[in-house]
Homo-oligomer: A and B are copies of this chain.
Amino acid sequence: MVYSAAQLVRSRGVAATGVRDVVAHANAPRGSFQHYFPGGKDQLVGEALIWSGDFAAGWAAEYPATTRRPTPAGLFAHLVRQWRDEFTTRGFERGCPVMAGSADLAGGDSPVNDQVRAALARWHRAVTDQLVRMDLPRHRARRLATLMISTLEGAIMTARIQRSVTPLTTVVRELGPLLG
CA distance A16 to B99 in the complex (A): 15
User: How many chain A residues touch B (Cβ–Cβ < 8 Å)?
Assistant: 50
Task: Please state if A150 and B157 are interface contacts (CB–CB under 8 Å).
Answer: yes
CA distance A155 to B149 in the complex (A): 8
Chain B residues with Cβ under 8 A from A177's Cβ?
178
CA distance A14 to B13 in the complex (A): 9
- 26 pairs of residues in contact across A and B, judged by CB atoms under 8 Å: A12-B104, A13-B104, A15-B16, A92-B106, A95-B107, A99-B103, A100-B104, A102-B161, A103-B157, A116-B161, A117-B162, A143-B173, A146-B166, A146-B167, A146-B174, A147-B151, A149-B158, A150-B151, A151-B151, A151-B154, A153-B157, A153-B158, A154-B155, A174-B178, A175-B178, A177-B178
